[in-house]
Chains A and B, each alone.
Chain A
């Protein structure tokens, strides 16, 4: 890292990486949209999109065009600035959160290492949590600035839900930090790299925290079965009732990017991040070097394989998002609060205490 920082190309590398990741995430949105539509059609035995393009695959483009050309109506009774600020706040935090996620190992180029991670922050875990907790502002502001009772109800529901589940997340973080002993996401991924054995993954080390965090990821992104903020049978469309055109489109995009970030977060913490299963980074690179490839090419191929592994693991979580959405019904509000406060939080605290004890005895016995 320090070698790379002094390297002349490093700022350019960060710039290129930011552009590639930004464009990649922007082009991920239509893909997940199509997966969602096809998935819903498949799971519920419906036709699904089949008019625009082959198998309806151009449907997201048609949707985007429609949203661009529709009027973005601003209600006369609304608070104009906050009304327009809310959709922007829905999109910005998930994109900022992407900066600390490690997407792959490092590329060797001209004697320096270039990590596939925009910013290797030493407290990446806390930073990611902090940035994602800002997501609640978009919902709150949208609900209040619309000056609509349905919007306000949706916003109040959503923010109390998000704050409640954040506490369970925080408790799980305690046990995770105790397990890994670091807050650096890249080091957490490195710790899960264990050559040819799977059980180094966080999923096996902290199964309880994994399940709690997975449930909380659904609640934090306001997806079914926790989508009470936009429960259409009671609240029209919840906090974004008054939004139309591109302002609605931004909420829509923000939700899918937040889903992606949550999935990437779970992958990094529990599924070994960018590690290719059954083989460590060094072994993989040595295998490629044995094929008479130069160090630059070998590390590049390794990184490509790692990014592919990362995308596939993240894709698994995204598919489960879609799967659950079209399978489970919505929770009632009191059930949601009971689950958060009376089930997840006590289990999380218990898990943290047990982890503390186990870590203490393991440290002492060494």
Chain B
């Protein structure tokens, strides 16, 4: 039996509101701020469920670091000059709605059945103590989920290498002023 407190309902409503704000606001900075608030409030939701470690990590990594990078990039790109001109917006919107409904239905189904998501049992309060302990989480990472954990590390390494390759300035083929100018343009 899942018991829900008033605080969790309030946090849930706020999460949904800010998630809607991400999609609906026209200003990219406001959108990015709404994303940050969604991630932060999700952390609050974890903490209210007793999953302190996951909540703190969520705030530290997602709200504190990743959302900052989003805002940073949006500011550097100066996206406010772009206008929304998308042909066939209504069709795309309708398709998106269908996709969202399908994803929601599948989540709802799996949470209710409680088979695919082992987390659902811990939401009910039976395993909260275990899931909140960093020691138990790290033991799981280094035993049962070792391969997945290492693979994630490999994936991040690949992403970092990709970023380095993309960020590396292209070597000029010709010497002199002309070549320098083109590289500068590419870098910009």
> Chain A residues in contact with chain B, CB under 8 A?
79, 81-82, 85, 121-123, 126-127, 129-131, 133-134, 136-137, 140-141, 144, 152, 155-156, 159-160, 163, 166, 183
Residue B68, interface by CB 8 Å: yes
Known: A79-B27, A140-B72, A152-B75. A134 touches B52 (CB 8 A): no
Residue B132 interfacial (CB < 8 Å) = yes
Q: Are A141 and B68 in contact (CB under 8 A)?
A: no
Enumerate the 4 nearest inter-chain pairs by beta-carbon distance, A residue then B residue, closest first.
A133-B64, A130-B60, A130-B59, A126-B56
Does any Cβ of A come within 8 Å of B114's Cβ?
no
CB < 8 Å: which of A85, A166, A183 contacts B134? A183
Chain A interface: which of B29-37, B143-151, B153-161? B29-37
Residue from B36, B52, B56 whose CB has the most chain A CB atoms within 10 Å: B56
Report the nearest B residue to A128, measured CB to CB: B56
Identify which of A123, A144, A163, A166 contacts B53 (C-beta below 8 A): A123
Q: Which residues of B contact A152 (CB under 8 A)?
A: 75
| Chain A nearest Cβ from B164, distance in angstroms | 15
Known: A121-B52, A126-B60, A141-B33. A156 touches B65 (CB 8 A): no
Q: Nearest chain-B residue to A170 (Cβ)?
A: B60
Do the beta carbons of A130 and B64 come within 8 Å of each other? Answer: yes
Residue from B27, B36, B59 having most chain A Cβ neighbours under 10 A = B59
* Distance between Cα atoms of A85 and B33 in the complex (Å): 11
What is the distance, in angstroms, from B45's C-beta to the closest C-beta of chain A? 15
CB distance from B22 to the nearest CB of A (A): 15
Dominant SS at the B interface? helix
A122 pairs with B27, CB closer than 8 A: no
Contact of A123 among B40, B52, B65 (CB under 8 A): B52
**Complex contacts, A129 vs chain B, CB 8 Å:** 60, 64
Give the interface residue-count category, chain B: 20 to 34
Task: Among B29, B76, B132, point to the contact of A79 (Cβ < 8 A).
Answer: B29
Query: Is the Cβ of A159 less than 8 Å from the Cβ of B68?
Result: yes
- Interchain nearest-CB distance for B65 vs A (Å): 7
Sample (8) of A-B pairs whose CB atoms are under 8 Å apart: A79-B27, A82-B29, A82-B33, A133-B59, A137-B36, A137-B68, A144-B29, A155-B75
**Provided the pairs A79-B29, A122-B52, A134-B40 are in contact, do residues A140 and B64 lie with their beta carbons within 8 angstroms?**
no
Asked if B15 is an interface residue, CB under 8 A from chain A, the answer is: no
Report the Cα distance A255→B30, complex, angstroms.
25
Give chain B residues whose Cβ lies under 8 Å from the Cβ of A156.
Answer: 72, 75-76
Q: Which residues of B contact A141 (CB under 8 A)?
A: 33
Q: Do residues B59 and A131 form an inter-chain contact, with CB atoms below 8 A?
A: yes
Interface of A is mostly: helix
B79 to chain A, nearest CB (A): 12
Q: Say yes or no: A140-B75 contact (C-beta < 8 A), given A79-B27, A159-B68, A163-B68.
A: yes
Residue with the highest number of chain A CB atoms closer than 10 Å, among B27, B36, B132, B134:
B134
Residue of B with least CB distance to A100:
B56
Which A residues are in CB contact (< 8 Å) with B60?
126, 129-130, 133
Known: A137-B36, A140-B71. Is A122-B132 also a contact (CB below 8 A)?
yes
Quick one: closest B residue to A145, CB to CB?
Answer: B29
Known: A122-B132, A156-B76, A160-B72. 14 other contacts (CB 8 A): A82-B33, A122-B52, A122-B53, A122-B133, A123-B55, A129-B64, A133-B59, A134-B40, A137-B36, A137-B68, A140-B68, A155-B75, A159-B68, A183-B53
Cβ distance A177 to chain B, nearest Cβ, rounded Å? 9
Interface string of B113-124 (1 = CB under 8 A from A): 000000000000
Q: Determine whether the beta carbon of B33 is less than 8 Å from that of A130.
A: no
A284 to B32, CA, bound (A): 52
Q: Which residues of B contact A140 (CB under 8 A)?
A: 68, 71-72, 75
- Name the distance in Å between A100's Cβ and chain B's nearest Cβ: 10
**Which B residues touch A121, using CB under 8 A?**
52, 56
List of A residues within 8 angstroms of B43 by Cβ: 130
Does B41 have its Cβ within 8 Å of any Cβ on chain A? no
* B27 cross-chain contacts in A, Cβ below 8 A: 79
B142 at the interface (CB under 8 A from A): no
Assembly CA distance A140 to B74 (angstroms):
11
What is the CA–CA distance of A123 and B57 in the complex, to the nearest angstrom?
9
Contacts A140-B75, A152-B75, A183-B134 known; A123 to B64 CB distance under 8 Å?
A: no
Interchain CA distance A137-B76 in the complex, whole Å:
15
Nearest-neighbour CB distance to chain B for A167, whole angstroms, equals 9
Q: Which residue of A is nearest B43, CB measured? A: A130
Contact with A along B76-116 (1 / 0, CB 8 A): 10000000000000000000000000000000000000000
Chain A: which residue is nearest B54 at the CB level?
A123
